[in-house]
Amino acid sequence: MSSRHAPWVGWFRVMLVLARRMQPHLAMSRSRTSEGRRRLGPGTILQGRYCLERLLAQGGLGAVFVAADLVSYQTVAVKVPLTRGVAPEQIAQRYRYEALTMAAVRHPNIVQVLDAGQDGDLPFQVMQYVPGKTVKALIHDSCERRRTLGLSVVSAILRQVAAGLDAMHEGGVVHGDVKPSNMIIDSELHVAICDFGLVRSVGAGGGTVPPPEVGVLGGTPLYVAPELLLGAELPPKQRYLRDSYSLGASLYEMLTGQPPFVGRTLDEIVRGPLLVPPPRGVDRRPDLPAAIDAVVVRALAKAPAQRYRSCEQLSLAVDQLEQLSRRRRAAHRSEERRRSLDRGGTMPYGIAERASELC
């Protein structure tokens, strides 16, 4: 084959990998029917212990209910599958894998998986219930009000998510699907990582321990790292950098209101991570520090070795910019007050009173 066709060979490989990953997912979606599907709702009791109270969230492959644990008298979240394309035993095995994998990781910024079981032919998983909304919903609400999240808020969210992810990595676990919709934030700005449907356990020898296959796409295209789109296998020490990339994509969305690479088709979306340089955040939001672009570029580097070595490193880089920005704003306000006094103006309400008390 001539060299002029070489780029198309690589691109064909990318689309072939995506097609193979999506095929079982689409087959599962087509296989869903109303026949034989168990009706779930308030009052349904699973395994004589978990009483469903209300629907919390629902996606293409599953639903999450708020439930009461009749043994511990605690409020929990219960996840159940909605598809019939995979045998219940296979899904139950996957749920148990998630529970066993996450049992080794305990952290305040990680939603805990408490139990996994099967009620008749219905597999289910029990998780810690964390009240609040997703960071994705927070971003959407801000955009609806034609506002953006402040850098201090973004920094606080990023700091907590990074701490949770690094705890997972230290425990030998890769999350695999980091994105704003898998981060829950409450009214006190406490954040917890959730949804462990794509977690992978890295064995002591550095190899990834494969989970039971349930035929789902390995990540969300808007946030997935380039090497996963290519189907490339990373060296053991770089396996966790796929989460770092996804966190960088989530950071960009928190700052600007949209993911770094968007498109109307899957083909357009995957071109970005593979071929297009990361977009400049300051182009969409001029009030951001100019140095934020360098942080985003490193976080979204095509080559894993060029990214931040840990999620904490990415978080610290944003923290430093936020602190610098805060000091500059404080200095600007101080200068404005000084100029106002030089012009014979009055100090803002409250400052004059406090000054008089100190005299």
Q: Which fold has domain 133-323?
A: Transferase(Phosphotransferase); domain 1 (1.10.510)
Q: What is the pLDDT along the chain (359 residues), one digit of tens a residue?
A: 444 445 554 555 555 545 544 444 433 333 333 334 568 889 999 999 999 999 998 876 789 999 999 999 999 999 998 866 677 788 888 899 999 999 889 999 999 999 999 998 899 999 999 999 999 999 999 988 888 899 999 999 999 999 999 999 999 999 999 999 999 999 999 999 999 988 888 764 444 555 555 444 467 899 999 998 888 878 877 889 999 999 999 999 999 999 999 988 988 888 888 999 999 999 999 989 999 999 999 999 999 999 999 999 999 999 999 998 888 777 767 777 777 776 666 545 454 444 333 33
Return the closest-CA partner of residue 191 out of 152, 148, 134, 245.
134
| Cα–Cα distance, 135 to 73 (Å, whole number) | 29
- The Cα angle at residue 223 between residues 222 and 224, in degrees rounded to 5: 105
Q: How far is CA 188 from CA 134, 178, 184, 207, in A?
A: 13, 22, 11, 39
So what's the pLDDT on residue 236?
75
Q: What letter represents residue 313's amino acid?
A: Q
Within a 10 A sphere around the Cβ of 113, how many other Cβ atoms? Answer: 24
3-state secondary structure of 355: helix
**What are 260-306's pLDDT values in tens digits?**
999 889 888 888 889 999 999 999 999 899 999 999 999 999 999 99
The yes/no answer on whether domain 49-128 falls in CATH 3.30.200.20 is: yes
Within a 10 A sphere around the Cβ of 189, how many other Cβ atoms? Answer: 13
- In this prediction the pTM is 0.80
So what's the pLDDT on residue 170?
93
So what's the pLDDT on residue 216?
47
Is the CB of residue 214 less than 8 Å from the CB of residue 61? no
Which residues are known catalytic residues? 177
- Extents of the domains making up the chain: 49-128, 133-323
The reply to whether 133-323 shares the fold of 49-128 is no
Left (φ > 0), alpha (ψ -120 to 50) or beta: where does 176 sit?
Answer: left
Instruction: Render the burial of 74-108: b for 16+ CB within 10 Å, e for the rest.
Output: eebbbbbbebbbbeeeebbbbbbbbbebbeebebe
